């Protein structure tokens, strides 16, 4: 449940750009003259340490910090760190226990030391394997270069004519900039809804500060803070990518001008990490190796999910599950928003509408079928002396404080206090409350919402005397506490105003007062944007400790590293065609952020979608990594069976999703081990194709499964961009698109059709589908193998990961997992398909078989058909059936430079190949003229 109707109106993109241009012009007065490097020496743990002295003091945004410590280290072959902080005292940083990383030398360890080993203070370089750190001492500037070709990736130099400053470092204002070449395409810097697509646009605002402001607000700071960007450049036809992370949890504006980028941060330190790439996939691999690999998701999480705020009683939920089954639409997970709660209070059940005996009976029924049940949980704990959760929290002293008392706010239960997840006692208490609730209701996961943190009030509040708050008659999100503004401290009213909520609202607006404090005196001012992150970590620990199972957590607020613990949905979206389109860019951004399990509310959170829109949304949403229909309390019902046309589209699109579950789950394994996004932009696989750099209306699942949805009203065709090669239609594999170069192709897309194409040189594993993933997972496998259309030689490969998805760890070597690599070659008239199995026992114990092999793009099939299993020839192939069907291309193949020979799909059925054994199939191709 979200603050669906409590949002600030958004300006048009044009007006926003004008405002930022004016602000940029107004800020051309230079702030000081930067810093000079006065000493430099080797660090005991590698790298080097320098001292920076301010050159010209000024009081714009407060006094300068006179002496800074510079620490630079090549932490790995492909990761370089530049860390700048106050040389005389410790400053706030993202806690090292939340995001584990190397701790730089303490400033106290370096101040006053002998400098007889200091380097000569001239311009110099510090080289690593992939990256070079180069610096100039006065004024101090630095650049990061790629060692292989000298390409400058980051350059902090500020010329007199530049509209930004040299390095600025004050207590509450830090500024650092980089020049950028015109060919740089940037992605990231979220979370925000980007109406112009995934590629960052000059002078669009990028403010990072976690905020409960609905996703319908364009170009504003939303629920998450991810101060990382990927820079992709094409130099003479060759693509190079790198990543830059400004690891800082304080509020910041990032001003991108096209030829430069400026960070304006209101606290903390400058802690910058550079990831050398050079491919987009390598950047995300290096980034997630640092921030934490994405969480392993259970198999059922890739099924379809249904939720609604407004399932008033248990019988409604039961009807929803039954109606999905009657409509033959797949459903794995049923959710409750806060309807199940007693008075909106966490860890409670409404005894009237969700009586525990009936709920347990319902859960027994769906659990036996393989379905799962997830409920919402907000961080605000209702202030109520008869409420056990609150009583235990007060006893354990777990809340964020203001002037020695728990900070008072208002959310759905009314007056609440917020747990302080930076306090180890709170983590233990939270885990105990989750354990208690799980004993009450055997939930299968938790949805943590409103954790930016959201507050319906602003300032310092008290519970009113003589009136009920909330009174139950007005909107639940209107503040009913007695509140006064908190502006007496520099933390509540900092000198530099970030563009919070797109309108420069105070940073304590509708959240916890920023002068409130956490464990050990940590200010909310500093820790605000990591609140949801710290809650996700505590929730993950608690769920994993329940039964030793793999946790599933969905979190609205995220930070750097959140993907290591939780999935994410994109918050309050509208049921509009524009929001349908925006959902793709947000999803692709989160893949770059290391949160690959992501999706938007299918059909929109509010208001009511049209029937046509809901058709198109489930066609797209069936291919989100996280696929969930969710609607608002005030919206009409929009479960997929409510319209027969939508039900048909759902059966088609989700039917394909459930067949592809082995492929999606293998992508989950790849994400967990390498960080690779499940859904990714096309330029991840075709990085040299510059036409793809701003494509935001199509995406890939994995490296070669392309989804091209209809995103406009009253359209029965879609104009899709195809990179060079052969692309096979997954719904009719005889149909193929062949391109010599990246080009647009107009595809038929009637109401119930979504275009999904598989690229050449691929092998993907599929099963027969079903209405629940547990049952679909028991069906036989099919392999789909794609060769370039019309080619006489080629290769293809793919993989399959299988495990017991209840286990917390997702890895090989446990005895409960198997990994299979598939290969295929076509050469000199012969075709061979074979497998290599690692850790075969699990697959063998499950009895999985490959029943069918489909090979696309061949010239035909001839003689000498042979099957081997573990090296032994299978003599009896009497059950094996081989058939062919001609491929159809929208255009003649010869028009695209191919030959005139017919090409066919070859289907081999009746196989009984054990997934857990190595096999080989070979035959002569023959010629079909």
598: which strand partners? 568
The DSSP bridge pattern shows strands 270-275 and 260-265 to be: unpaired
Tell me whether residue 572 is one of the annotated catalytic residues.
yes
36: which strand partners? 53
175: which strand partners? 168, 264
Contact call for residues 508 and 492 (beta carbons, < 8 A): yes
Tell me whether residue 449 is one of the annotated catalytic residues.
yes
Residue 502: which region, alpha, beta or left (left: phi > 0; alpha: psi -120 to 50)?
A: left
Q: What six digits make up the tokens of 323?
A: 């109606």
Q: State the catalytic residue, choosing from 175, 346, 572, 839.
A: 572
Distance, in Å, from the CA atom of 563 to the CA atom of 292, rounded to the nearest integer, reads 8
Closest alpha carbon to 624 in 303, 188, 386, 345: 303
Distance, in Å, from the CA atom of 75 to the CA atom of 78, rounded to the nearest integer, reads 8
Contact call for residues 481 and 464 (beta carbons, < 8 A): yes
Residue 317 backbone phi and psi in degrees, to 5: -60, -45
First to last CA, the chain: 61
Contact call for residues 706 and 680 (beta carbons, < 8 A): no
Q: State the catalytic residue, choosing from 342, 346, 433, 449.
A: 449
Distance, in Å, from the CA atom of 138 to the CA atom of 720, rounded to the nearest integer, reads 52
Contact call for residues 773 and 303 (beta carbons, < 8 A): yes
Instruction: Characterize 546-584 residue by residue with b for buried, 16 or more Cβ atoms within 10 angstroms of its Cβ, and e for exposed.
Output: eeebbbbbbbbbbbbbbbbbbbbbbbbbbbbbebbbbbb
Q: State the catalytic residue, choosing from 130, 444, 452, 839.
A: 452
Angle, helix 280-291 to helix 661-674, in steps of 10 degrees: 70
Residue 485 backbone phi and psi in degrees, to 5: -65, 145
Q: What six digits make up the tokens of 196?
A: 């112009």
Which ranges of 197-242 does DSSP label H, i.e. alpha helix? none
Q: What six digits make up the tokens of 272?
A: 């910058």
Surface-to-core class of residue 350, CB atoms within 10 Å of its CB (0-12 exposed, 13-18 middle, 19+ buried): buried
| Helix, strand, or coil (residue 577) | helix
Distance, in Å, from the CA atom of 567 to the CA atom of 811, rounded to the nearest integer, reads 19
- The residues carrying an active-site annotation are 449, 452, 572
């Amino acid at each position: 449940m979200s603050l669906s109707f409590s949002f600030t109106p958004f300006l048009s993109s044009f007006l926003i750009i004008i405002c930022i241009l004016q602000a940029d012009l107004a800020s051309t007065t230079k702030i000081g003259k930067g810093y000079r490097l006065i000493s430099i020496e080797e660090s005991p743990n590698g790298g080097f340490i320098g001292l920076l002295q301010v050159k010209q003091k000024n009081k714009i945004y407060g006094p300068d910090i006179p002496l800074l410590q510079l620490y630079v280290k090549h932490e790995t072959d492909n990761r370089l760190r530049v860390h700048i902080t106050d040389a005389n005292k410790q400053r706030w940083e993202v806690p090292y226990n939340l995001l584990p990383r190397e701790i730089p030398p303490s400033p106290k360890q370096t101040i006053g030391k002998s400098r007889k080993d200091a380097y000569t203070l001239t311009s110099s370089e510090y080289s690593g394997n992939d990256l070079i750190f180069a610096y100039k001492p006065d004024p101090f500037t630095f650049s990061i270069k790629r060692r292989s070709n000298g390409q400058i990736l980051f350059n902090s130099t500020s010329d007199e004519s530049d509209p930004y400053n040299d390095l600025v470092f004050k207590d509450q204002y830090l500024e650092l900039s980089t020049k950028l070449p015109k060919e740089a395409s940037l992605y990231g810097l979220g979370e925000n809804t980007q109406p112009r697509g995934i590629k960052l646009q000059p002078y669009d605002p990028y403010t990072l500060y976690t905020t409960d402001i609905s996703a319908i607000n364009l170009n504003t700071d939303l629920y998450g803070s991810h101060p990382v960007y990927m820079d992709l450049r094409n130099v003479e036809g060759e693509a190079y990518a790198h990543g830059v992370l400004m690891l800082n949890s304080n509020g910041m504006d990032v001003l991108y001008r096209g030829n430069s980028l400026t960070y304006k941060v209101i606290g903390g330190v400058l802690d910058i990490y550079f990831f050398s790439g050079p491919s987009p996939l390598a950047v995300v691999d290096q980034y997630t190796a640092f921030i934490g690999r994405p969480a392993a998701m259970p198999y059922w999480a890739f099924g379809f999910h249904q939720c609604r705020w407004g399932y008033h009683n248990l019988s409604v939920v039961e009807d929803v599950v039954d109606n999905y089954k009657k409509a033959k639409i797949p459903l794995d997970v049923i959710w409750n928003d806060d309807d199940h709660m007693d008075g909106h209070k966490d860890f409670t059940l409404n005894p009237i509408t969700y009586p525990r005996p009936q709920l347990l009976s319902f859960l027994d029924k769906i659990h036996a079928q393989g379905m799962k049940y997830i409920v919402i949980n907000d961080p605000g704990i209702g202030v109520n002396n008869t409420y056990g959760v609150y009583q235990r929290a007060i006893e354990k002293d777990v809340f964020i404080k203001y002037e020695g008392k728990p900070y008072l706010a208002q959310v759905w239960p009314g007056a609440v206090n917020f747990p302080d997840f930076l306090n180890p006692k709170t983590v233990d208490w939270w885990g105990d409350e989750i354990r208690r609730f799980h004993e009450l209701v055997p939930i299968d996961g938790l949805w943590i919402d409103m954790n930016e943190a959201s507050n319906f009030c602003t300032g310092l509040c008290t519970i009113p005397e003589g009136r009920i708050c909330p009174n139950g008659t007005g909107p639940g999100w209107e503040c009913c506490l007695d509140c006064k503004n908190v502006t007496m401290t520099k933390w509540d009213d900092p000198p530099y105003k970030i563009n919070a909520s797109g309108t420069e609202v105070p940073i304590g607006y509708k959240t916890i007062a920023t002068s409130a404090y956490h464990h050990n005196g940590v200010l909310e001012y500093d820790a605000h944007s990591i609140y949801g992150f710290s809650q996700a970590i505590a929730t993950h620990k608690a769920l994993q400790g329940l039964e030793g199972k793999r946790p599933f957590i969905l979190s609205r607020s995220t930070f750097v590293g959140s993907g290591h613990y939780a999935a994410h949905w994109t918050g309050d979206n509208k049921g509009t065609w524009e929001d349908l389109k925006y959902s793709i860019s947000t999803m692709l951004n989160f893949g770059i952020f290391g949160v690959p399990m992501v999706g938007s509310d299918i059909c929109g959170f509010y208001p009511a979608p049209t029937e046509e829109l809901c058709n198109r949304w489930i066609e797209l949403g069936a291919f989100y990594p996280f696929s969930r229909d969710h609607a608002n309390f005030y919206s009409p019902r929009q479960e997929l069976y409510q319209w027969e046309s939508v039900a048909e589209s759902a059966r088609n699109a989700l039917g394909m999703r459930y067949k592809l579950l082995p492929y999606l789950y293998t992508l989950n394994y790849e994400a967990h081990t390498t960080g690779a996004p499940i859904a990714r932009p096309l330029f991840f696989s075709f990085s040299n194709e510059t036409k793809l750099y701003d494509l935001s209306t199509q995406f890939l699942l994995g490296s070669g499964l392309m989804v091209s949805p209809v995103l406009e009203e009253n359209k029965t065709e879609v104009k899709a961009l195809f990179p060079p090669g052969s692309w096979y239609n997954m719904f009719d594999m005889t149909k193929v698109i062949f391109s010599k170069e990246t080009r647009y192709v107009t595809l038929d897309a009637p109401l119930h059709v979504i275009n999904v194409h598989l690229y050449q040189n691929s092998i993907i594993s599929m099963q027969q589908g079903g209405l629940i993933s547990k049952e679909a997972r028991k069906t036989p496998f099919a392999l789909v193998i794609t060769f370039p259309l019309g080619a006489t030689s080629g290769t293809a490969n793919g993989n399959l990961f299988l495990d017991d998805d209840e286990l917390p760890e997702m890895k090989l070597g446990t005895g409960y997992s198997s990994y299979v690599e598939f290969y295929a070659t076509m050469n000199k008239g012969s075709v061979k398909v074979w497998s290599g199995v690692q850790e075969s026992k699990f697959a063998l114990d499950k009895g999985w078989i490959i029943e069918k092999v489909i090979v696309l793009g061949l010239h035909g099939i001839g003689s000498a058909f042979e099957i081997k299993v573990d090296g032994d020839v299978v003599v009896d192939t009497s059950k094996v059936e081989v058939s062919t069907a001609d491929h159809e291309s929208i255009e003649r193949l010869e028009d695209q430079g191919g030959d005139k020979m017919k090409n066919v799909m070859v289907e081999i059925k009746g196989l009984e190949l054990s997934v857990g054994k190595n096999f080989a199939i070979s035959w002569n191709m023959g010629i079909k003229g």
